[in-house]
Amino acid sequence: MPAKNIETCPKMIHLDSFYRERVRRFADEEALLARREAWLAWLRLLFFASGIAGGVYVGSFGRGAGIAVAAVCMIAFLLCVKKHVGVIERRKEAERLKIINRYEMNSLNGDDSPFPSGEQYIDPEHPSTSDLDIFGAYSVFRHVNRTTSPSGSYLLAQWLSRPAPVTEIERRQQAVKELAGMVDWRQQMQAVGLKYKDTAEALPGFLLWLRGEPVLSGRRRLLWMVRVLPWATLCATAAAMAGWLPATWLWLPVIAHLAIAAATLRQVNTLHRQMSNKVDFIGVYAEIIAPVAATDFSSPCMTALRQVFIDNDAPGQIRALRNRIKRLDYRLNLMYAPVNLLFFFDFKHLVWLERWRAASGAAVSKWFDAIAAIEALSGFANLSFNHPQWAMPEIRDGDCTIEAVQMGHPLIVEKERVCNDFSAGGKGQITIVTGSNMSGKSTFLRSIGVNMTLALAGAPVCAERFAAGHCLIYTCMRIADHLEERTSSFYAELKRLKSLIDLTRHGERVFFLLDEILRGTNSRDRQTGSVALIRQLIRQQASGVIATHDLALGELEKELPGHIRNAHFDVQIDGENMAFDYRLYDGICTTLNASILMKKIGIEI
């Protein structure tokens, strides 16, 4: 079926009302199905009791009539059970969709706590993610992430950790635009993932099985015996019953069956331990792959991901694998044991699974990768849908520049967010941002870094318009002591700055964001070192933004015209009262507030 905007939300529709209405709709559906579920539970009990009581009562008048009544009631009971199971699944799905939309409603108001934080991806040595809160409790990852699989979560983390090539960014952007309006489609996939979220632990074992070597499928003589022996045994049994063959001869095929079963028991038991708990795990991929394969997409990225499933008939292959694993579980039924021993079903299941692995195993990793990519893209699309005023950025394969109109921090809720126009960059171009305490310098730097991170991953950004050069983002903002390495915060900062210098020296295109550099030393050394660092970064054609309290650094604009630009955040002071507007202005800040803040905490000045 063609991809279409099943349910869209134009800018004029209030998103909070949109999600609130969906929560109400799915809650009503859940309540209706709950009532139907209770009604069917009583109905199946009624049919079961009627089958027993009616069969006994009617049977007292005639055996055939009693059997007929019992049979009709049992058939009705089984149909009722099937209907009941379906209603239970639909009720649970409505409940999951209700929860999904409630979480989205809360996310609009700044509460992303239900979503995974990505703390496992925090890397203090990364060029930028730690300083920019890409991962963690209050993070970009948590705001964007709607993945339900470990592979989807990992891929999203990778996308937010390193810039994609320009052509790949453009492909992702086209996919995000297409998926943004497909709310029902995206949420259905998310609901399936939540349904099987507890089965994610089965993935390592499944991948281990995929890498295994064949055990029985290559043993031709044994395969021939397994095919022929059951029929030979049945023929021998029929001949013995007809008196054409002595009954004692039946021990020969029985011994042969037992010998083959004993010879393959260890391999079958090993396989069963590996695969018996994979039914639900395989089920999630069957339910996710099917709608993807059935949808005609217009964007090249989604079309290519869909083709991964079509090329090897992934929906059919996954369903067949799931059904075969379910059949393997029949061996746990004692009533099944004699039939299993006669026809070697365990052995045949093992051979089938080995052949499936040989035929489709190589494609499975591609299927997992494609699902992970679709989950990550769905997260970006959800971000775009939830923030229709955000721009899809332009990425230029050139100098490290940034041009932003009404750019704000994505993690600050819209009613509290203050946006600014900003442009900077080019070889050897540095913007020095001064300002008083609490005026917004650090938040502004993070706004730049976070939006560039999103842009270079293929996601929308918090701005009306946004263009940036394709480059590595490098930050030096939060520096802490490393006691285990016996490293002071000052030395840790020097190591961080050395890495920046080395990158720019080797010609890496870097856009840096530095906050209060060299803060761990005295004011004279700090100023001397800061000026020297700025000069060196200009010589090495680096570009970026430096936030500082040191107003003397702003004087470099006169000394290095064309390379240094000054901007500042201001504060309005009325006695001991301060007012911040968080607006970016040209020039050097002239208003300081440290003494007022110190007085407020009781320091007598």
Summarised one tens digit per residue, pLDDT across range 281-338 is 777 788 888 889 989 999 999 999 999 999 888 888 888 888 887 777 666 555 656 6
Q: How far is it, in rounded angstroms, from Cα 103 to Cα 194?
A: 13
CB contact set of 602 (below 8 Å; sequence gap of 6+): none
* pLDDT of 5 above 60: no
CB 328, CB 299: distance < 8 Å: no
CB 479, CB 496: distance < 8 Å: yes
Least Cα distance to 126 among 117, 138, 134, 115 occurs for 134
Strand ranges across the sheet with 401-407: 394-396, 465-469, 401-407, 420-425
User: In the predicted model, what is the mean pLDDT of residues 383-412?
Assistant: 93
User: In the predicted model, what is the mean pLDDT of residues 401-420?
Assistant: 93
According to DSSP, the residues that pair with 2 across neighbouring strands are 296
Q: Where are the alpha helices (DSSP H) in 109-165?
A: 140-144, 150-161
Task: Please report which confidence band the pLDDT of residue 507 belongs to, taking 50, 70 and 90 as the band edges.
Answer: confident
What's residue 115's pLDDT? 94
Higher pLDDT, 7 or 65: 65
Widest Cα–Cα separation across the chain: 117
Q: For the ranges 307-321, 367-381, 568-582, which has the lowest average pLDDT?
A: 568-582
Higher pLDDT, 217 or 153: 153
Higher pLDDT, 512 or 600: 512
CB 435, CB 590: distance < 8 Å: no
Q: How far is it, in rounded angstroms, from Cα 572 to Cα 590?
A: 11
Higher pLDDT, 177 or 599: 177
pTM of the predicted structure, to 2 decimals: 0.85
User: In the predicted model, what is the mean pLDDT of residues 429-451?
Assistant: 90
* pLDDT of 522 above 80: no
Strand ranges across the sheet with 510-515: 472-476, 510-515, 543-548, 430-435, 564-574, 577-586
Give pLDDT tens digits for 112-161.
Answer: 999 999 999 999 899 999 999 999 999 999 999 999 988 899 999 999 99
* DSSP label at residue 197: G
Percent of the chain exceeding pLDDT 90 equals 44
User: In the predicted model, what is the mean pLDDT of residues 364-375?
Assistant: 91
Give pLDDT tens digits for 32-89.
Answer: 999 999 999 999 899 889 888 887 777 777 778 878 888 888 899 889 999 999 999 9
In this structure, are strands 394-396 and 465-469 parallel, antiparallel, or unpaired? Answer: parallel
* pLDDT of 11 above 60: no
* pLDDT of 206 above 70: yes
CB 489, CB 107: distance < 8 Å: no
- Residue that is written with structure tokens 């008048």 in the block: 61
Q: Which of 194-203, 518-527, 560-569 has the highest mean pLDDT?
A: 560-569
Handedness of CA 395, 396, 398, 400 (dihedral sign): negative
Q: How far is it, in rounded angstroms, from Cα 525 to Cα 421?
A: 34
What's residue 452's pLDDT? 97
Higher pLDDT, 283 or 369: 369
Q: How far is it, in rounded angstroms, from Cα 494 to Cα 497?
A: 5
What's residue 24's pLDDT? 96
Q: How far is it, in rounded angstroms, from Cα 135 to Cα 118?
A: 5
User: In the predicted model, what is the mean pLDDT of residues 574-582?
Assistant: 67
pLDDT, mean over the chain: 83
Higher pLDDT, 480 or 492: 492
Q: Which of 234-248, 363-377, 510-524 has the highest mean pLDDT?
A: 363-377
* pLDDT of 485 above 60: no
According to DSSP, the residues that pair with 544 across neighbouring strands are 430, 512
What's residue 9's pLDDT? 41
CB contact set of 322 (below 8 Å; sequence gap of 6+): 279, 282, 283, 286
Percent of the chain exceeding pLDDT 70 equals 82
What's residue 593's pLDDT? 47
Element of type H or E holding 91:
helix 63-108
What's residue 433's pLDDT? 93
Q: How far is it, in rounded angstroms, from Cα 327 to Cα 282?
A: 14
Higher pLDDT, 602 or 170: 170
Least Cα distance to 153 among 119, 204, 106 occurs for 119
* pLDDT of 268 above 60: yes
Q: Which of 258-272, 312-326, 400-414 has the highest mean pLDDT?
A: 400-414
What's residue 20's pLDDT? 94
Pull the structure tokens for residue 231. Answer: 């029929």
Pull the structure tokens for residue 373. Answer: 């990519």
